[in-house]
Amino acid sequence: MERKRIVVGVSGGIAAYKACTVVRQLAEAGHSVQVLPTESALRFVGAATFEALSGQPVHTGVFDDVPQVPHVAIGQQADLVVVAPATADLLARAVAGRADDLLTATLLTARCPVLFAPAMHTEMWQHPATRENVSTLRTRGAVVLEPASGRLTGTDTGPGRLPEAEEINTFASLLLERPDALPYDLAGQKVLVTAGGTREPIDPVRFIGNRSSGKQGYAVARVAAQRGAEVTLIAAHTAGLIDPAGVDVVHVSSAQQLQDAVSKHAPEAQVLVMAAAVADFRPARMAQAKIKKGPGEDDRPPTIDLVRNDDVLAGAVRARADGQLPHMRAIVGFAAETGDENGDVLFHARAKLQRKGCDLLVVNAVGEGRAFEVDHNDGWLLAADGTESALEPGSKTLMASRIVDAVVAFLGGGG
């Protein structure tokens, strides 16, 4: 990605130390990063740390470096402003339009996307004053991330934790790729997402697995949650991904466990996104003891009988038709396809859409360096009404934002 001007505002919360990683990662990605801490933030992390990590001087007040008029210029020139952590106080000052330090003045002059990553105690986060401030900022077009749940200052836990730096920067990169990628348009919707690859046990140490990293499904869950949905993510095995902030994650292993979790959560959901790579077959029996290789070179390898797993996607479509999923309005399937002598990728994908009966099908061409285990993706989106659109190449988070757009359009169209 080309070098962008990013302002990282840091306000005075205990999570200010995590801003160091946010700054470091953005600078390492080649961007020009200017850190604007509040006076309180500097009681948590020293200016020298931010100056060394960003390679730029750090000021807090509007009267430093006056000939450059930084209180106006920094905001005007920025491509993106990220405030991490955003304290309750900083959110309130931003809503009030205060300009009593360099960061808040910059928030008034910036016309680029602004991303707030709030972090505070649960009581502060849930206070009506903060709820209203968050809602006002969203109405004005800012992106205010849902905090993660977990350990806060001291020993208590709950929602209010700053998401990990990697996750904040995932959203920062998304807004640089696509400034309007995170509208708050899924509030009140329950979205169920499956992701990752299942493992079908052969014996206590071996399994049949697949190469799904879970990245695409996690990205869909992450984007849907930040667009306001209540998201449950049923996560099979992934490449060590971070649980997305603001998402309820249910970890499973086998296709059967994934099926059970979908059956449990789907009746509440309005949207189901089946991004998981669910094994089609499993060993008919799992050996209770490790299958031995045998001492001799000529010992015959064991034969493993396979049986079919239920088709979770087709099962959900059937359950909806039978009236068992009263709230379900959009079912999205995924197809990882290769062309063969019978037809190209789209030919097979169209057949799959017909067979499965879902509303939308995300199609990826797989093969050398494509779709699996990588961070970028491209493909097509096929709808049951016959419309087809290309998903332009980009990060899996960008792809997720396009997929969520399609879901929102489908819901809006009375789907």
Ligand X SMILES: Cc1cc2nc3c(=O)[nH]c(=O)nc-3n(C[C@H](O)[C@H](O)[C@H](O)COP(=O)(O)O)c2cc1C
Please select the residue that binds ligand X; options are 4, 7, 11, 313, rule is CB under 6 A: 11
Pick the piece of the chain touching ligand X (CB under 6 A) from 12-20, 133-141, 255-263, 395-403: 12-20
**Residues annotated in a binding site:** 280, 290, 334, 352, 356
Shortest distance, CB of residue 85 to ligand X, whole angstroms? 6
- The Cα 136–Cα 130 span in angstroms is 10
13 near ligand X, judged by CB under 6 A: yes
According to CB under 6 A, which residues from 145 to 184 bind ligand X? 153
Rounded Cα distance between 199 and 349, Å, is 25
DSSP secondary structure code for residue 36 in this structure: E
Q: What is the three-state SS of 212-233?
A: CCCHHHHHHHHHHHHCCCEEEE
Contact predicate 247/233, CB 8 Å: yes
Among 8, 19, 33, 41, binds ligand X (CB under 6 A): 41
Choosing from 210, 309, 364, 377, the catalytic residue is 210
* Sign of the torsion angle spanned by Cα atoms 126, 131, 137, 138: positive
The residue (of 88 and 406) whose beta carbon lies closer to ligand X is: 88
- DSSP labels for 301-363? PPP--EEEPP-HHHHHHHHHHTTS-TT--EEEEEEEE--BTTB-HHHHHHHHHHHH--SEEEE
d(CA 332, CA 360): 5
Closer CB to ligand X, residue 16 or residue 266?
A: 16
Contacting ligand X within 297-326 (CB under 6 A): none
* Shortest Cβ 153–ligand X spacing (Å): 5
Q: Is 260 in the site for ligand X (CB under 6 A)?
A: no
Q: How far is the CB of 242 from ligand X (least distance, A)?
A: 20
Q: Judged by CB under 6 A, how many residues of this single chain contact ligand X?
A: 16
Nearest Cα residue to 314 out of 259, 387, 382 = 259
Q: Does 270 bind ligand X (CB under 6 A)?
A: no
Candidate list 95, 120, 174, 233; residue touching ligand X; CB under 6 A: 120
SS3 sequence of 355-369: HHCCCEEEEEECECC
Binding residues for CTP are 280, 290, 334, 352, 356
- 124 or 272: CB nearest ligand X: 124
**Nearest one of 214, 218, 215 to 231, comparing CA atoms:** 218
Instruction: Give the strands of the sheet with 330-337, arranged side by side.
Output: 247-251, 230-235, 190-195, 271-274, 330-337, 360-365, 376-383, 388-395
210 included as an active-site residue = yes
Among 7, 8, 12, 215, contact with ligand X (rule: CB under 6 A) = 12
Q: How far apart are CA 239 and CA 219, in angstroms?
A: 13
**Beta carbon nearer to ligand X, 90 or 331:** 90
The radius of gyration of the chain's CA atoms, rounded to the nearest angstrom, is: 24
Among 62, 114, 117, 119, binds ligand X (CB under 6 A): 119
Q: What are phi and psi of 359, to 5 degrees?
A: -85, -40
Closest approach, Cβ 11 to ligand X, in A, equals 3
Quote the least distance from Cβ 392 to ligand X, whole Å: 39
Residue type (1 letter), 34: Q
CB closer to ligand X out of 129 and 374? 129
Contact positions with ligand X (CB under 6 A) in 186-205: none
Among 53, 95, 124, 277, binds ligand X (CB under 6 A): 124
Which of 14, 72, 286, 346: binder of ligand X (CB under 6 A)? Answer: 14
Tokens describing residue 332 = 């999205």
Residue selected from 34, 38, 133, 270 as contacting ligand X according to rule CB under 6 A: 38
Q: Whose Cβ is closer to ligand X: residue 20's or residue 120's?
A: 120
Distance CA 59, CA 317 (A): 57
Residues 70-99 that bind ligand X (CB under 6 A): 87-90
To ligand X, the closest distance from the beta carbon of 137 in angstroms equals: 14
- The set of catalytic residues is 210
Binding site residues, ligand X, CB under 6 A: 11-15, 38, 40-41, 87-90, 119-120, 124, 153
